């Protein structure tokens, strides 16, 4: 009996995103050990955070000057691919593979991309508006929290159709945010959890439009008015 690769069960876009995130981290890990880039490679991670991370000050400058150069606008979608360390990246990969498959199976490939990048963008906007500091927003948590939001939406529908409390659907996000709060109180942390929460909300709300027939029902309701 021919064994099937576990990657065959995953939507190709999920695999592609995971490989891109993992590949960036591998390059930075090798550079930090002097195996790539020579002596300069040690500073590649900081350079990547500086060049591709999302900064509130940069966003404020773009708003104030009404100038939107591509090298700064792209930060909205590049910051999820640069992480603080390997363990930071690893948790993002775990969420992406698990929840990306669920979202892809239910809503389709394009939905995964829309939620991933839509949540990343809204997470960055929330960070810019609510966290006025010079610490860059980096890492894929806001993007994968969007997938958690979409998963929560599925559970919300499921519990509702079964006549159970829909609040049960929010257990996962409540647990994750609780863990972040505890770590923040114990060790001190940046307020990037606000970006994660915005990503979650984005994924949850976007899912309303992704339900099969949602657009048609909305059009029918508008015509009835």
Summary mean pLDDT of the chain? 88
Q: What is the mean pLDDT of residues 36-49?
A: 91
The model carries a pTM of 0.88
Residue 175 above 90 pLDDT? no
Residue 225 scores a pLDDT above 60: no
pLDDT bracket for residue 176 (50, 70, 90):
confident
HEC readout, the chain: CCCCCHHHHCCHHHHHHHHHHHHHHHHHHHHHCCCCCHHHHHHHHHHHHHHHCECHHHHHHHHHHCCCCHHHHCHHHHHHHCCCCHHHHHHHHHHHHHHHHHHHHHHCHHHHHHHHHHHHHHHHHHHHHHCCCCCCECCCHHHHHHHHHHHHHHHHHHHHHCCCCHHHHHHHHHHHHHHHHHHHHHHCCCCCHHHHHHHHHHHHHHHHHHCCCHHHHHHHHHHHC
pLDDT at 2 over 50: no
User: How far is residue 172's CA from residue 178's CA, in Å, rounded to a whole number?
Assistant: 10
Cα 36 from Cα 26, distance rounded (Å):
10
Question: 34: alpha, beta or left, given left = phi > 0 and alpha = psi -120 to 50?
Answer: left
| Confidence tier at 47 by pLDDT (50, 70, 90) | very high
* Top-tier CATH class for 6-224: mainly alpha
């Amino acid at each position: 009996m021919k064994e099937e690769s576990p990657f065959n069960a995953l939507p190709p876009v999920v695999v592609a995103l995971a490989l891109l995130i993992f590949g960036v981290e591998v390059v930075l890990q090798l550079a930090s050990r002097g195996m790539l880039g020579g002596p300069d490679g040690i500073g590649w991670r900081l350079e990547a955070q500086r060049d591709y991370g999302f900064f509130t000050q940069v966003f404020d400058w773009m708003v104030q000057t009404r100038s939107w150069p591509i090298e700064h606008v792209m930060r909205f979608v590049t910051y999820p691919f640069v992480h603080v360390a390997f363990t930071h990246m690893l948790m993002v990969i775990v969420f992406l593979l698990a929840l990306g498959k669920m979202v892809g199976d239910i809503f389709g490939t394009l939905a995964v991309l829309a939620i991933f990048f839509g949540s990343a963008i809204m997470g960055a906007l929330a960070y810019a508006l609510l966290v006025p500091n010079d610490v860059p927003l980096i890492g894929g948590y806001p993007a994968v929290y969007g997938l958690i939001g979409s998963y929560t939406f599925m559970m919300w529908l499921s519990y509702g159709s079964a006549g159970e409390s829909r609040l049960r659907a929010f257990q996962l996000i409540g647990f994750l945010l609780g863990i972040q709060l505890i770590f923040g109180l114990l060790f001190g942390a940046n307020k990037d959890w606000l970006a994660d929460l915005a990503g979650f909300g984005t994924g949850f709300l976007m899912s309303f439009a992704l339900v099969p027939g949602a657009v048609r029902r909305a059009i029918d309701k508008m015509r009835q008015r």
